[in-house]
A and B are shown apart, each in its own frame.
Chain A
Amino acid sequence: MSHESRRDELLLYAAGALEGPERESLEAHLRSGCALCAADLSAAEAVVTELALSPTPAEPPPEVMTRLLARVAQSSGARAAPGLVRAGHLLAAGLAAVATAGIGVALVERYVAAPLRERASALEEQVRVSTGELGELGAERDELRAQLAEQDEELAALEETVASNAELLRFLRTPGLHSVALAATDRQPNATARVFWEWEDYACHLHASGLRPPAAERVYVLWLYTEDGGTIRVGTFLPDREGAADLFARLPRNVGRVVRTSVTEEAIGAGEQPSGAIQLAAAVVDPRR
């Protein structure tokens, strides 16, 4: 079977639209560990996810999350935020109270005269109005909670940036700092980059600017190559909107003499050896003996 036909079959398979012997045959082929098909299956699943997300989104009512969290609170091993567990228990207690009230109303209906029935329906109206208001308050609470979560994330990101900048500053003030400029390949016509080394402390820092963004689901990886033929994956990074990037990393204490460094573009989660296109590279003079 041609690769193109196989690629189409993987698309049908991902969409749940491959049946019978064709499906069995494809599954057997996938089990054989074909790397090309595994990659094509991931791409097919991305298309199918887009198709599944094509209907117009709709906001579910807040009760769905309340019910979900109540179930979670009652399930074993929940390490929920205390407020959430409490909300779950309160909801369970509330449901029991509502059930009891229901029985009470039934008895009143059966045994009590008309004036009391009128009073009951007035109360029901009040409950209906209050329930509506409660729903609105719930929606407002959910919105505030979402905003809070977003602000927490922003704060965490800022703290991370401050911490990494402080470390960078300490590093740049280190006496005996070495550096090497990386040459850009045709893939990065506007990039400039430099790696700083602090050999005594086994630390290195990459600073780059003018980088193009990598393709979707891909990142840049900094590699070191040692005299004894070893390859070290130092870390991954992405440029910001202006094309600038920083990567700070500690090297293993037993690192051999470094002779070369490069930056390649790799798929997220790719292995410990470079396989993507080289973006930047340089020879390194490691002063250690």
Chain B
Amino acid sequence: MNAGSAGTGELLPWGDRRGRQHPATSPTEADRDRALLAGIAARDASALEKLYLRHAPALFGLCLRILGDRGEAEEVLEDVFFELWERSDRFDPGRSTPLAYLTTLARSRAIDRLRRQIRRISVLDIARSPAETREPATDGETPLEAAQGGERRRLVAALLEALDEEERRVLELSFFAGLSHSEIAARLEQPLGTVKTRIRRALVRLRDRLEERVRGAELP
């Protein structure tokens, strides 16, 4: 039984209402996103606008990284938020945070579009790495990012950079170019087993190093 919700409601005295933690991990930020998603489900367009203002730069950076074309990335970004508006019931609050859901949606839609582009150009040229030839996002850190976890993003980018070169390469082809294991094997002329092992190692190393940093940060 939840006495709080039956009576005056639970009071959550979040200390820092302008939370400085990463939006994906901070309870304050994730709760704020959940409240905005509830507004979207109630067909409140201003909630969609607020959610867009909070996360569009991060998601646009992701779409640009995958597609390498501002026009294409803009269209995907618009489609992602419109899909959220039209199908907000697909988000399961018990399973993930709104930012994780939005990130998955943006990555998936950007990769779908990338694969369609590649098919248009040449089915034979699929082995050429789109992720490697993309123009980098050069806008730099936005004020929003600075407020919402730029430091965390830079840490992940640095950890990615510190991976073994071959491992990072296969991870990027898999994650940011959406290539299957066999496509990566063909692209890099490597045995399939090697590709699988490298993707696994890269992800596990990234996870373990992130966990080490978190444990290190918790120590007094």
> Which listed residue, A42, A154, A245, touches B13 by the CB 8 Å rule?
A245
B24 and A49 within 8 A (CB):
yes
CA distance A56 to B154 in the complex (A): 8
Asked if A79 lies at the interface with its beta carbon under 8 angstroms from chain B, I say yes
Residues of A within 8 A of B6 (CB): 250, 252
Asked if A199 lies at the interface with its beta carbon under 8 angstroms from chain B, I say no
Residues of B within 8 A of A15 (CB): 174-175, 203
> Which listed residue, A63, A65, A232, touches B1 by the CB 8 Å rule?
A232
Tell me the nearest residue of chain A to B154, going by C-beta: A54
CA distance A237 to B61 in the complex (A): 34
Asked if A249 lies at the interface with its beta carbon under 8 angstroms from chain B, I say yes
> Which listed residue, A57, A149, A164, touches B137 by the CB 8 Å rule?
A57
Tell me the nearest residue of chain B to A202, going by C-beta: B7
Residues of A within 8 A of B30 (CB): 217, 268
A50 and B27 within 8 A (CB):
no
Q: List A residues 236-284 near B (Cβ within 8 Å).
A: 236-242, 245-252, 255, 268-269, 272
Q: List B residues 159-179 near A (Cβ within 8 Å).
A: 160, 174-176, 178
Asked if A16 lies at the interface with its beta carbon under 8 angstroms from chain B, I say yes
- Number of A-B residue pairs at CB separation under 8 A: 263
Q: List A residues 10-69 near B (Cβ within 8 Å).
A: 11-12, 15-17, 19, 42, 44-61, 63-65, 67-69
Q: Which of A70-78, A103-111, A116-124 contacts B (4 or more CB under 8 A)?
A: A70-78
B1 and A52 within 8 A (CB):
no
Q: Give chain A nearest CB distance to B29 CB in angstroms.
A: 11
> Which listed residue, B45, B139, B144, touches A81 by the CB 8 Å rule?
B45
Majority SS at the chain B contact face = helix
B52 and A68 within 8 A (CB):
yes
Asked if A234 lies at the interface with its beta carbon under 8 angstroms from chain B, I say yes
Residues of B within 8 A of A249 (CB): 3-4, 7-8, 10-11
Majority SS at the chain A contact face = mixed
Asked if B132 lies at the interface with its beta carbon under 8 angstroms from chain A, I say no
CA distance A146 to B144 in the complex (A): 10
Residues of A within 8 A of B64 (CB): 55, 58
A232 and B3 within 8 A (CB):
yes
CA distance A52 to B169 in the complex (A): 15
> Which listed residue, A60, A84, A203, A235, touches B46 by the CB 8 Å rule?
A84
Across chains A and B, which 9 residue pairs bring their CB atoms closest together, nearest first?
A250-B7, A240-B15, A80-B45, A235-B4, A55-B65, A58-B139, A57-B57, A57-B61, A235-B10
CB<8 Å pairs between A and B, sample of 30: A11-B204, A11-B207, A19-B180, A19-B181, A42-B95, A47-B203, A47-B207, A49-B104, A53-B61, A53-B156, A56-B137, A57-B60, A60-B60, A64-B60, A68-B48, A68-B52, A75-B85, A79-B43, A79-B44, A84-B46, A154-B18, A233-B3, A237-B11, A246-B13, A247-B4, A249-B3, A250-B6, A250-B8, A252-B3, A272-B1
- Chain B residues near A (Cβ < 8 Å): 1-4, 6-8, 10-18, 21-22, 24-27, 30, 32, 42-46, 48-50, 52-53, 56-58, 60-62, 64-65, 73-74, 77-78, 81-82, 85-86, 93-97, 99-100, 103-104, 106-107, 136-142, 144-145, 152-153, 156-157, 160, 174-176, 178, 180-181, 199-200, 203-204, 206-207, 210, 214, 218
